[in-house]
Amino acid sequence: MREFSLPALYEVPADGNLTDLIRRNAALHPEVAVLSRKRDGGWEDVTAAAFLAEVRAVAKGLIAAGVRPGDRICLMSRTRYEWTLLDFAIWGAGGVTVPVYETSSPEQIAWILGDSGAVACLVETDAHAGAVNTVRERLPGLLHVWQIERGAVDLLREQGAGITDEEADERAALAGADSPATIVYTSGTTGRPKGCVLTHRNFFAEAGNVVERLRPLFRTGECSVLLFLPVAHVFGRLVQVAAVLAPIRLGHCADVKQLTEELGSFRPTMVLGVPRVFEKVYNSARAKAQADGKGRIFDKAADTAIAYSRALDAPGGPSLRLRLAHRVFDKLVYAKLRAALGGRARHAISGGAPLGERLGHFYRGIGFTVLEGYGLTESCAATAFNPWDRQKIGTVGQPLPGSVVRIADDGEVLLHGEHVFTGYWNNEAATAEALADGWFHTGDLGTLDEDGYLRITGRKKEIIVTAGGKNVAPAVIEDRIRAHALIAECMVVGDGRPFVGALITLDEEFLPRWLAEHGRPAELTPADLREDAELLAAVQRAVDDGNAAVSQAESVRKFRVLPAQFTEESGHVTPSLKLKRGVVAKDFATEIDALYTR
């Protein structure tokens, strides 16, 4: 099949903006808890009426500070209640939110704030404020920096005390459906992040249709979700907006190291995550079982869960013997795993990177169905996802209702719909290339089956997506590492892997000099030095310098020095000396695997 679409399930408002959602919730469900925040170690519910009042009070402060309609305001923080509060307050002041990853380097901060023309920045910690201050002299348009942990919310409330409710509501109503809601910067092959402009309409179309298609997971007054993904990522942002649109109770977890404890205390009915989260739960449970001398039982339980899930898709379903074994393991193993995920959740949505079929069957087999989806920043997160009642494990599901997925002649996945972005900020050339003939060209390769389920088979572009869902542009760090005299080539790897690694070759022209400077025999070759401590320390310094240009999630954690340079004769570079990444990845697959197994 070359093209598939589903009818829309949600009617996007002809006008209006996302602040309408919190006013609607306050009018229809004033006493319903729409959010919960951590207070004194416990969860404190925030009703729809209370949330509207808080958002309005902070928006008044932004208006009083001089924020004008359309002004860009950067928001740099971990995932916490204040992120959602400030996001809606920025919209309430008529502004446009520009998320910044809290792990971003000063160079990245300077680019995003400068390119977006931000007039203000809301940061969380002293470290964030310090990073902004190091580049502030390069940002003459940046008028304000407020810090959450130094009372930004209270300060803005006080500053806006002189603004009336009527003035605030008039400002909140100025943005229309087609006005920009946010500019999300995403990695590009040129090395400079591109600002993806998403409108209020994009979010309405995306979140509205996701909620309606997954309505049993979004029942008001019954369902809840704990958000632990970065809200600077479009997937986390979708979770936030969808929860408010539904509405269901939304909580935030700032420290993923405390995720198990937070899941246990919040007890969500649905979990949103990236494959790495589900991999960690599985691997941790297996490791604990092995440490307790129960490894064989766990492995047998896992095999049973996978077999049970596969049988659900087969004619006749699971056999009696399989059902009995499944029932036994449910008491011994599966119930404990579900408890580790909060105890109440029976569904999760996974995105950001591929989820393996085996893991998908394992989770469905233990009674915790992970619905895999696929999307990009440009598609306002999910452009396809598995429906709760017709899952096909191994696919990323059917198109978002109201949208179209087309497979081009070369296999590229093309998208059309109201959820697709309007363009890149101040980058007409990139916009024209991505939005050609009315279709967004994803750069990914895929196929559609007879039921319209999409399967992603590859990637045309060079962007790496780690198992944690982080988009990494190789050029930025590769160029920086390769600038060191000792380094000939650097190829960043990590697609679908837990972290970013690199394959590195030594400059064979410079190597004799390095050997002489370090009193080493001149006859040593790169192959001789692959495990040499002094040489590896020198390469590590080059890698550390490269890492300084990118966020922690994009940084190279491990590298392997290869025995020889890439050449045109070896087939690893083009005549213009560009890396043939596919060839290198294939020829050095063992070296790449070693990065993640040693």
* 3-class state of residue 86 by DSSP: helix
Question: The pTM is what?
Answer: 0.82
Do both 365 and 450 map to the same domain?
Answer: yes
Q: Rg for the chain (alpha carbons), in Å?
A: 25
How high is the pLDDT of residue 138? 95
Question: Residue 580 belongs to a domain with what CATH number?
Answer: 3.30.300.30
Residue ranges of the alpha helices (H) in 316-427? 320-329, 335-340, 357-365
Whether 287 has a pLDDT exceeding 80, the answer reads no
Percent of all residues in the chain with a pLDDT value above 70, rounded to a whole number: 97
Report which of 76, 80, 143, 133 is spatially closest to residue 104, judged by C-alpha positions: 76
> Are 360 and 426 in a shared domain?
yes
User: Do 117 and 248 reside in the same domain of the chain?
Assistant: yes
**Domain co-membership, 361 together with 252:** no
| Confidence band, pLDDT 50/70/90 cuts, at residue 188 | very low
pLDDT at position 40, please? 87
pLDDT band at 190 (very low <50, low <70, confident <90, very high): very low
Last-in-domain residue among 214, 247, 268: 268
Q: What is the pLDDT of residues 196-205, one digit of tens each?
A: 999 999 999 9
Q: Is the pLDDT of residue 234 over 90?
A: yes
Domain boundary among 430, 459, 488: 459
The domain in which residue 240 lies consists of 17-175+224-268
Look at residue 8 and tell me if it is in a domain.
no
pLDDT of residue 187: 61
Classify residue 134: in a domain, yes or no: yes
pLDDT of amino acid 510: 82
Q: Are residues 61 and 144 in the same domain?
A: yes
Pairing label, strands 423-424, 194-199: antiparallel
User: Is pLDDT at 497 greater than 50 in this prediction?
Assistant: yes
Same domain, 378 and 426: yes
Q: Same domain, yes or no, for 254 and 117?
A: yes
Indicate if the pLDDT at residue 214 is higher than 80.
yes
At residue 440, does pLDDT exceed 80? yes
519-528 pLDDT, tens digit per residue, is: 999 999 999 9
Give yes or no: residues 232 and 324 share one domain. Answer: no
Instruction: Give the pLDDT mean for 439-456.
Output: 94
Per-residue pLDDT, 574: 56
Greater confidence (471 vs 155) lies with 155
When mean pLDDT is compared across 25-39, 280-294, 330-344, the lowest value belongs to 280-294
Query: Can you tell me the mean pLDDT for 585-597?
Result: 92
- Domain CATH for 398: 3.40.50.12780
Question: Is residue 490 located within the same domain as residue 576?
Answer: yes
**Is 420 a residue whose pLDDT tops 70?**
yes
Is residue 143 a part of any domain in this protein?
A: yes
What is the pLDDT confidence band of residue 576, given thresholds at 50, 70 and 90? very low
Q: What share of the chain is helix, strand, coil (3-state, %, to 5)?
A: 40, 20, 35
Domain count for the chain = 3
Instruction: Select from 459, 492, 515 the last residue of a domain.
Output: 459
What region does 221 belong to: left with phi over 0, alpha with psi -120 to 50, or beta?
A: left
pLDDT band at 189 (very low <50, low <70, confident <90, very high): very low
Distances 202 to 121, 145, 282, 378, 381 between C-alpha atoms, Å: 24, 29, 35, 10, 10
For 459, the token pair is 């990637």
pLDDT in tens, 522-569: 999 999 999 999 999 999 999 998 898 888 888 999 999 999 999 867
Reported as a pLDDT band with limits 50, 70 and 90, residue 85 is very high
Output the pLDDT for position 145: 97
Query: Is residue 51 domain-resident?
Result: yes
pLDDT at 239: 95
- Residues in Cβ contact with 56 at an 8 Å cutoff, skipping those fewer than 6 apart: 92, 165, 168, 169, 172
Q: Tell me, yes or no, whether 486 lies in a domain.
A: yes
| Cα 185 from Cα 197, distance rounded (Å) | 9
75, pLDDT greater than 70: yes
193 within domain boundaries: no
Residue 575, pLDDT above cutoff 50: no
**Contact call for residues 399 and 412 (beta carbons, < 8 A):** no
Residue with the two structure tokens 């229309």? 176
The Cα–Cα gap between 589 and 258 comes to 35
> Could you give the count of Cα atoms lying within 13 Å of 109 in the half-sphere of its Cβ?
31
Long-range CB pairs of 109-114, under 8 A, 24+ apart, other chains included: 109/76, 109/135, 110/135, 110/138, 110/139, 111/185, 111/192, 111/193, 112/74, 112/185, 112/193, 112/195, 113/74, 113/139, 113/142, 114/138, 114/139
Average pLDDT, the chain: 92
Alpha carbon distance 548, 479 (integer Å): 12
Task: Kindly state whether residues 237 and 347 are assigned to the same domain.
Answer: no
- Asked if residue 568 and residue 501 are part of one domain, the reply reads yes
Question: 């309609």: which residue's tokens?
Answer: 69
- Does residue 293 surpass a pLDDT of 80? yes
Average pLDDT over residues 581-595: 90
pLDDT digits (tens, 9 = 90+) for 105-160: 898 899 999 999 999 999 999 999 999 999 999 999 999 999 999 999 999 999 99
- The DSSP symbol for 379 reads G
Within a domain: 105? yes
Same domain, 453 and 535: no
Asked whether residue 218 is assigned to any structural domain, the reply reads no
